[in-house]
């Protein structure tokens, strides 16, 4: 009869007395540590988190709206006022973020994008055609203004898509809308001065109405304030150009 060797395996991590003796003699490697599951950590309960300014700051716009009926905020006037302030800031930022460039539209978009724009939004429309140098020049000015005044809506539309058979000799044409009505129109590029700069266009647009708006909270929206700012910007450009010219002609 052959020799039979039976190997008895105990529970994982357990050890027999014989194994312990062999380990002490160095005949077996050290016993591996017994498996120990990680300790359970319950998920944080948001309702138990302290409600302070940072708690409000971490909320989205929808979450802030949902907190309107929170009983805890009803008892904390400071937090409720801060919630309203944050919500107003988010809504203002969202409104400003809608613009910032010259948006292309078609004839079918005109009523929705221009005539039906919110009453607090000024809309500047350029009627143009590709390949006309004057249109290209005015468009560059408007692109710069759209970036600087993102709360004013700038749109562009091909002239004959807006008005059938509109004569090219009238291009570019600028229309200014507010609250569904035309407030001003400027036919041709000569309306904006000999050189047609962004500053010159801004001065014409704000001659009687606060058309340009940078959307910054607390800023003065009056046309006079915008014109004063444009004049400052224009003077800064003139001074810088003069300094650059002086540097170009300076001798070593």
Contact 154, 124 (CB under 8 A): yes
Q: Pick the more confident residue, 91 or 222.
A: 91
| Helix runs in the chain, H state only | 17-25, 53-57, 61-66, 71-74, 77-97, 110, 133-148, 159-162, 198-205, 223-249
Residue range 17-63, pLDDT digits in tens: 767 777 777 766 777 776 666 765 655 544 555 566 676 777 776 77
What percent of the chain clears pLDDT 90, i.e. is strictly above it?
Answer: 36
Q: At what angle do helices 223-249 and 198-205 cross, to 10 degrees?
A: 160
Strands 122-128 and 153-158: parallel
Question: By mean pLDDT, which of 65-79, 131-145, 187-201 is the weakest?
Answer: 65-79
Residue 70: the pLDDT is 67
What is the spatial distance between Cα 37 and Cα 31, in angstroms, rounded to a whole number?
18
What is the spatial distance between Cα 124 and Cα 142, in angstroms, rounded to a whole number?
9
Per the structure block, which two tokens stand in for 181? 């009505």
Residue 105: the pLDDT is 96
Which of the residue ranges 6-15, 17-26, 30-39, 80-89 has the most confident prediction, judged by mean pLDDT? 80-89
pTM: 0.56
Q: pLDDT at residue 162 above 70? A: yes
What's the CATH fold of domain 102-214?
Glutaredoxin (3.40.30)
Q: pLDDT at residue 134 above 90? A: yes
Residue 89: the pLDDT is 75
pLDDT confidence bin for 7, thresholds 50/70/90: very low
243 alpha carbon, distance to own chain's centre: 35
Domain boundaries, the chain: 54-97, 102-214
């Amino acid at each position: 009869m052959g020799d039979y060797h039976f190997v008895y395996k105990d529970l994982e991590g357990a050890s027999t007395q014989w194994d312990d003796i062999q380990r002490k003699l160095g005949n077996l490697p050290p016993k591996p540590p017994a498996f120990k599951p990680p300790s359970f950590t319950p998920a944080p309960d948001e309702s138990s988190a302290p409600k302070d300014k940072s708690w409000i700051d971490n909320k989205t716009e929808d979450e802030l709206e949902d907190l309107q009926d929170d009983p805890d905020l009803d008892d904390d006037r400071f937090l409720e006022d801060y919630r309203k302030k944050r919500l107003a800031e988010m809504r203002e930022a969202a409104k400003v973020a809608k613009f910032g460039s010259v948006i292309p539209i078609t004839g079918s978009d005109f009523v929705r994008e221009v005539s039906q724009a919110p009453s607090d939004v000024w809309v500047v429309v350029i009627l143009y055609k590709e390949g006309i140098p004057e249109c290209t020049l005015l468009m560059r000015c408007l692109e710069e203004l759209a970036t600087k005044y993102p709360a004013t809506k700038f749109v562009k539309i091909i002239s004959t898509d807006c008005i059938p058979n509109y004569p090219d000799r009238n291009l570019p044409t600028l229309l200014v809308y507010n609250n569904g009505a035309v407030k001003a129109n400027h036919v041709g590029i000569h309306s904006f001065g000999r050189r047609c700069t962004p500053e010159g266009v801004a001065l014409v647009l704000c001659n009687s109405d606060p058309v340009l708006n940078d959307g910054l909270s607390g800023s003065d929206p009056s046309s006079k304030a915008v014109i004063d700012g444009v004049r400052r910007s224009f003077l800064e450009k003139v001074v810088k150009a003069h300094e650059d010219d002086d540097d170009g002609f300076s001798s070593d």
